[in-house]
Structure formats: structure tokens, C-alpha cells
Chain A
Amino acid sequence: MKKLLLLLLISATAFAAPPKPKPAKKAIQKSSITAAISQMKSGQHLSAANNLLALSRRPELQSDRSQIKFLLGLALMELEMNQVATFQFVDVIKIGDPRFVKKAIEKLLIVTDKLGDETLLNYAIQRIDVNSLPKSTQELIYFRLGEIKQKSGQFAEANRMYSQVNPGSRYYLNSLYNLGLVQAEAGQTGLALETFQKLVSTRTKANVTDTNKVAAQMAIARTLYQKKDWEKSIEAYSLIPRDHPLWHDAVFEQSWAMFRAARFRSSLSNFQTLHSSYYDDFYIPESLLLRSIVYLYICKYDEMDKVLTLFDKQYGVVGNQIQKFLQSSNNAEAYYREVEKAYAYKYQDRAKARGKLPYIATRFIANEGNVRRSLSYIQKILKEKKMIEDDSRIKNLVIGSYSLKLLNNRIKSAKDRTGDMVKAHLQNMATELVDLREQASLIRYEMINGKKETLKKRLSEKDINDKTETDEKSREFYAQNGYEYYPFQGEFWLDEIGNYHYLGKQSCE
């Protein structure tokens, strides 16, 4: 079917003759272009692409450049050289020959969507008339337009765009999710909940860890939190499956909901998980401050002091290193390299992949949506480059060296763009850490104040011989629910993560 469509498309371009050519020139172009078309029809896409590239450079074929470039783009798509193909379609759009512009935009949309090349995708979207496209492509446009409107805060417009993506489209689930987000951002929490519930119900038969389903469930919990329905939010968070990557975020966010619902013991149970050694590489500074605030509420000043000290120790260093790096590096490539190292640190030999920035920060940034998409895009271009380099048939042809040159430039610019994103995230992180450190100071002040008040009270009641909180650490417990108490002795086991229960009592007098 795909081949048939390609043949139809090639035939159509063959019949789209240029206006009034001179007789001699006409003969040359007809024969060369026809030969290339024949090669494409017979599946010789590589030879066709090579010949078409040569033809595109011939000045006497200037008037046929659109057709040649378009055919070249098609041939490259067949060769899975999508990034190189996008440039041919962009050239066609720039030339502006009305016979090929629409087709080129359509192809550009498809290929950039496949690559995740947002710059060219937006370039194509801005030039398209949605109604002139086939239905399947229209839905892509509506989805992407929805994203653009959402980013710029035009929620009503975004809502309208997402609503036009129908079930059955491959963009439907993403549109539904984004629609819910738009509604939540616009403060329509009731509608947002309905949308997310709809998404969950469309995925009823999917696996427990189906990302669409889990993300929708997470969104429900977040929307309930937004609605300040703490108890239901806690319940919704607890439905996130433990073996899904979103579970870590769910535990942290659930702790906030527990804190707001005054379920201090429960939130402290979650912190035992979040502050275990398994989370050494996770950037969650806020969780430490939240834990200290919970301790403040239950007058556990010693514990509070420990947590605040840990915050200073862990995130003070991170903040300083980020500031230092921001001051010493202006080059976007340097920022990209740091994230690249974080990626290597995650999957390869850790000793060899140490960056200048703390891994805890670069790991967090590498997982940020825009950076992750950008990294994935770079991976795709690198893969395309490798495919050309590994295939001597392509590499030794003019099209091979042309493609490599083009891809190298593209890789460099994509890396620079990613580097800029990383820098922006680092700047935000640095600002956030400064802010959090100020908050930590305020919390510490509250802690000292609380300690002082407790001592005053004790002195006035002449009760200084009372046991302090630290004296009571040897308590014994009997756990109800038929479960058995198993003491924690400093070791963290993977199968226990998420199952810790804080058994301390509040110490307020």
C-alpha cells in the first residue's frame, strides 16, 4: 500500500510539467528526471537520490528544482534518511512552486513528526491550510497546533484544537491527556477530571503499567490535589502502580497531600522511602524541607535538625556547583556535554562519565520534557548518520557525503539548542535552590523557636527530668492489621521501598 502510494505520488509529479520550457532544455530535463523517476519506480532509491541530487545542482534545470527536490525528498524517505529528506521539502517550500508546496508541506509534517524535529514541524505547521490535507494528517496538525496554543497559554484555542482529534487517531490519547491538562490549567477541574477519567476508561484493557493509563491516573490525583480534595487525592496517588517510573513522583506528591490532610505519620512513612539510598540520584530538595516542616508540626526538633542539616549538606553543594558552572561556561556545547555525560553515567561505566555538574542535577534536567525530546531527536539523527557511515554504498556516493555534511551541521545545531535548554534549566534550578535555602533558614528559625518554647515550658513546669524525644527511641510496638513489626536497621531493600511506616509519636507538650 505504501509503495503504491509512492508510485502514485511519483507519477503525479512526472505529469506536473513546468510551464513553457525551451525545446532543447526540455529534452534534457525530461530525459534525466524521467530516468530518476524510473529508478524510483523500480526501487533503486539510492541511485535515484544520487542522480536527483546531481540534477538539483544543474543551473539549466533551475525551473524544475522544485520537482527534483521533492522527488529527492521522497527517495530519501524511502532510504530512511528522514532528516536529509526534510531539507529537500523545506527547499521546495522555500522555492514556492505552487505545484509542489502543498505536497512538500504534507511530507514534511509526516517526516518531522517521525523525527520529533519540533523546529521544522512548527515551520511546516505555520505554512499549512489544515482543510487542504487528508483527515489523518489533519489530526496531526490539530494535535500539534493544540500543543503550540497550550504553550502560549491560549487554553480555549488549545481546547478547540485537541477536541478535533477523534478516537482512532494515533494522536487521540495524547490529545485527550493534553485536553485534560488544558482544562486543569484553565481552572476547570471538574471537566479535567472527566477527561482524565475518560482516558483511563479508554485504556481499561491495557496493562497495569500502560503509560497513558498511569499518566491519566496521576493527572486525576493532581487535579484532585488542585481541587484541595486531599483524601481523594491521596487515594488516587495510591493507585499508581509501583513498577511504573511515575510512582516515584506519586510518592512525593502524595506526601504533600498527606501533609495537607494533616496525616503527618503517613507522610513521614513516605519520606522514609524518598530519603532512602535508592533516591541518592533524585533531585527532590523540596521533599527534605517538607519533611522538616512535618517534624516541626509534631515537635520533633532533633529529627528536624538532622533533616535540615542533610538539606544543607546535599543541596548546598549542588547549588554551589551549579552557580560555579553557570559563571564559568557560556558555551552551549559545554552544557550539552554535561547532559550527555549524565546519560552515559546512567547507562555506561560510571567512573568514566563524571561531569563537572553534580549528577543529581544533570539527571533531573535530562528527564525534563524538552531536553528529553531533544536528546531523543539527536539520537535519531546520530542513528541516521551511523547508517550512512556504515553503508559504503551510500557513503561513497555524492549523496552520502552531502548527507553527512548536512547531518553534521544539524547535529551541531541540535546540540547547541539542547545546551541552551540545559542552561535555562540550570538557571531555574539555581534560583530555586537559593529560594529553598532561604526557606530552610526560616524553618530552622522556627525549629530554634520551637525548641526554646519547649524548654521554657519545661522549666516553668519544673519538669526537666521528663524524658525527651530521643530518650524514647527504644519503644516497642505491636502492629495491628495482622501484620508484624519489623525494625528498620539502616539497610534499604528494594522490595521494602514504599512499605515503610513511621511509628513515632508527636512530641508536642
Chain B
Amino acid sequence: MKKLFLKKSLMTIIFLLSSLAHAADEIEVPDDELAKESVLPVFDSVVSVKNRNVSTAGRFDFGIFGGLALTEPINNTTKVGLELNYHLNENHSLGANFTMNSSGLSKDAQGLKNDFALDFNRAPKPQSTMMLDYNYSPFYGKMSVTKEGVMNTTIYGSGALGLVKYEHKSFPAIAIGIGERFYFTHRFSLKVDLRVFAHQAPIPFQKGAMCDGSLGLCNGGVGLSPQPVPALSSFKERLTYTTNLQIGANYLF
């Protein structure tokens, strides 16, 4: 339903804009002057764009972002963060980012707690992530939805090294990703970033340790008393992959 509304709104906007365009000056370009070839002119050096609207070389950008851990089953999937990048040139940048995880459980884990008294708050939860980040932006482009204005975009790949901090311990982590920035002005951009993190992490499942006894269902409904809270360090660890989707706003100084 929401999608349908969005679609209808878009159609209306496009119709209104096109009506406005009809009201504007009419220009007829002679056919022989219109583009007939898709080949590129030959220059001494091939540069796809000159006099860029968004020039990042030698500049810092600062950003805030919010994210979702798409494949996180137990802990709260939302997070917020800050980042600072230095652009070595138009293509390469180095930076650091800090992400704070929201506390609590995911909807699914909360459901398990409500329905089966399985309290995953007993398992160690991630608290924050700190990464050193490298971005490579091979594509700089532009797009226009209404043809009234042009928005510049960059597509980048990223690689990061850092630490994921859990309540009891920190784990080294690596991440790779891909993202796109949409520049609304020469400085301000919206960023969409998809990353896959890989790191050792505690397995949040431990037999005979998760039931809090609130529903009297522990031990398959046989035992009534809550199971003892396990020590955080008692959880086994394994290599874990998490896919994160982040959306943020960045400002280029």
C-alpha cells in the first residue's frame, strides 16, 4: 500500500514537472546538430571528467550514519556512528569510523524471550565497533531525475580493519563493502553503504543457560526454576559474518 502511494506521488510529481516544462521556452535544435555518434573525441590524455563539481582530493569529510545489521539474529540490529575520512586524491581515501550498537535484543530474540523465556540478554552483546577504513572510488558520475538539476554520485569499494567490542572482550574484525554517495551540493552528500564484517564472536546459544524461568518453561517445561546466568566468558566463539547496511550524511570540508 505504501509502495503504491509512493508510486502515485512520484507519478504526480513527474506530471507536474513535465507540465511546468511545457510552459517554458521551446527550443528546437536542428537535427543535424544532435548527437549521432556514441564515440568519444580523441585527446592526448583520456580524462572522463574535467572541472569536477565535487572535488575531494586533499580534503576531509565528516559523516554521521545509522545502520542495520541485516543478518543479526539475536541482538538489536540498529546502530549509529561517526566517521572521518581524508581523501588522498579523487579516488583514494583513508579514514576511521566508530559505531555504537543499540542495546537490547532483536525482535526475533525478544519473541523467544516472550514466548519461551529464553533470555538472550544473558549472552554477550556487541557494544561498539571501531574501524580504520580505506575507500576506493573508481566511478564518479552524475544523475538527474527531473532534468531540472543534476546530482553527482560516486561509487566506492571499501576495506576496513578494526575491533568489535563485546561486553566482555574485543575481537579483531575485517570488513569489505560497496557504497554510493549522492552529492546534493558540492559538499553535502548522502551515503549508502553495504558492508560484510568478519570476526570472531561469541555464540549466543548455550544449552541449559538461557532460560530465565519467567514462564516456568525451563528445561522443556519440566524444571520450574530459572537456569543460572552463565559467565560471559563461558560462551564459545566462532567466526561470524554480519552484513550491515548503513545510511549516512557526509560533509566535505
Contact = CB atoms under 8 A, between A and B. Distances in A.
A245 interface: yes
A281 interface: yes
Contacts of B144: 486
Interface stretch (B21-29, B56-64, B170-178, B234-242): B21-29
A264 B23 CA distance: 25
A480 B48 contact: no
B4 interface: no
Contact of B29 (A278, A479, A490, A497): A479
Interface string A242-254: 1111011000000
Nearest to B150: A489
Contacts of B46: 494
B222 interface: no
A367 B46 CA distance: 19
A309 B25 CA distance: 30
Interface string A446-488: 0000000000000000000000000000011111110111110
Contact of A499 (B27, B28, B32, B35): B35
Contacts of A269: 33
A109 to B, nearest CB: 34
Contact of A281 (B22, B32, B44): B44
A494 B41 CA distance: 7
Contact of A490 (B21, B44, B51): B51
A492 B50 contact: yes
Given A483-B34, A503-B27, A493 B41 contact: no
Contact of A494 (B30, B40, B53, B150): B40
A277 interface: yes
Contacts of A506: none
B40 to A, nearest CB: 5
A501 B32 contact: no
A285 interface: no
A281 B24 CA distance: 38
Interface in B133-154: 142, 144, 147-150, 152
Contacts of B50: 276-278, 491-492
B20 interface: yes
A358 interface: no
A243 B36 CA distance: 12
Given A478-B21, A480-B27, A494 B49 contact: yes
Contacts of B44: 281, 346
B147 A481 contact: no
Interface in A229-265: 234-235, 238, 241-245, 247-248
B39 A478 contact: no
Interface string B101-116: 0000000000000000
B51 A266 contact: no
B8 interface: no
B41 A486 contact: no
Contact of A242 (B37, B51, B149): B37
A483 B42 contact: no
A327 to B, nearest CB: 30
B5 interface: no
Nearest to B47: A494
A493 B50 CA distance: 6
A481 B20 CA distance: 18
Contacts of B52: 491
A7 to B, nearest CB: 46
Nearest to A485: B147
Nearest to B24: A476
A302 to B, nearest CB: 20
Contacts of B27: 477-480, 485, 501, 503
Contact of B24 (A234, A276, A477): A477
Given A476-B24, A491-B49, A481 B29 contact: yes
Contacts of B53: 489-491
A193 to B, nearest CB: 20
A239 to B, nearest CB: 10
A243 B26 contact: no
B188 to A, nearest CB: 15
B151 to A, nearest CB: 10
A169 B42 CA distance: 30
B41 A481 contact: no
A509 interface: no
A484 B147 contact: yes
B44 to A, nearest CB: 5
A490 B40 CA distance: 19
Q: Which of A244, A278, A483 is packed against the most chain B CB atoms within 10 Å?
A: A278
A495 interface: yes
Given A266-B33, A478-B25, A489-B150, A242 B49 contact: no
A490 to B, nearest CB: 6
A498 B43 CA distance: 13
A241 B40 CA distance: 10
Contacts of A235: 32
A101 to B, nearest CB: 46
B42 A247 contact: yes
A352 to B, nearest CB: 16
Contacts of B30: 266
Nearest to A347: B44
A477 B23 CA distance: 8
Nearest to B31: A481
A29 to B, nearest CB: 57
A38 B106 CA distance: 95
Given A244-B42, A346-B44, A493-B48, A487 B24 contact: no
A266 B47 CA distance: 26
Given A235-B32, A478-B25, A243 B51 contact: no
Contacts of A491: 49-53, 142, 152
Given A269-B33, A476-B21, A481-B31, A492 B147 contact: no
Given A238-B32, A498-B41, A476 B51 contact: no
Contact of B34 (A242, A247, A278, A481): A481
Contacts of A276: 50-51
Given A242-B40, A243-B39, A346-B44, A478 B32 contact: no
Nearest to B36: A238
14 contacts: A234-B32, A242-B40, A243-B42, A247-B42, A277-B51, A476-B23, A477-B27, A478-B21, A478-B27, A481-B28, A481-B29, A484-B147, A495-B40, A497-B40
Given A244-B42, A492-B51, A494-B47, 9 more contacts: A234-B32, A238-B32, A266-B33, A269-B33, A278-B43, A486-B150, A487-B148, A491-B152, A492-B49
Nearest first, the 8 closest Cβ-Cβ pairs linking A and B are: A476-B24, A277-B50, A243-B39, A480-B28, A492-B50, A277-B51, A499-B35, A478-B21
